[in-house]
Structure 1
């Protein structure tokens, strides 16, 4: 039983690690954007998932020019609540003391809309990082590749996967990820599409 549990944890780590590295390259240039995708948030403050995504977004900022990185929070309102983008921005400023440039995209209700609605803000960016749980970020990168292959060539890896972080739930995240990624081609899931 312990061996099966260890195998499940190792599998969850491996799948999430692989997804975090799919459909990214080595784009270079001074202008960087970190796109943080929101998660359903019907309450008046950022929930656990959105707080983690904001922290992963902030730690994804390049060390060479942290104040010049454009952080884009993307997510609309759910259940007539405050937009996910606003809740994440509030958390970044009030709890993490983030003082860099912020852009709010607060109309999106789906991952496809997240990407569609942030494209205008990415036109002048050299390096694009998309932050979420690895399967969700991969899905968003695939959507950017479908909508704007020229911008997708600017995708680089975000710091949204770390070994040992969320370890206990990574097998469940991996199973859910397999289900949510079923609309992607095999090449997109492997990072070759």
Structure 2
């Protein structure tokens, strides 16, 4: 719950700036897409060149990840790809556990850059995820199967809504932090 609250607070300054946000939703098959069914969204960066946008996004990746050289590959002024690891991709009950546990794994993000805009591809979570218990036992899972358990007849189950919302907020939070961190910082810091 704390992570969800932190993500929501992180997004508030972006809303105040009136920027268009990337807002992907999670589908029953474990894929992300926009609410209207697309696998990408185009975010305007009015008046900025591809080079300026690239520099801003690369800087934001540096402030988002501990070691950006390990997670980022890029074509200068054209695209940035991220492949990173998260300890909290999905909450689910491993066999024999009473409550939901966090599964970890890799996810991928892609930003294609042109003058005045960025095309943000829907995030991809790699299928192999795992949970390591307090006694160091490893429980393997499949992301799409774990996500499908959040849904019933294509609709998020109310008792699973909190987990679903946290997963969506987490992924959108990372994307929007990469898109907008320096814009928000520049407005709030006078150094």
Q: TM-score range by the shorter chain?
A: under 0.3
Q: Which has the higher contact order (CA 8 A, sep 6+)?
A: 1
Higher helix share: 1
Return the TM-score normalized by structure 1: 0.26
Return the TM-score normalized by structure 2: 0.26
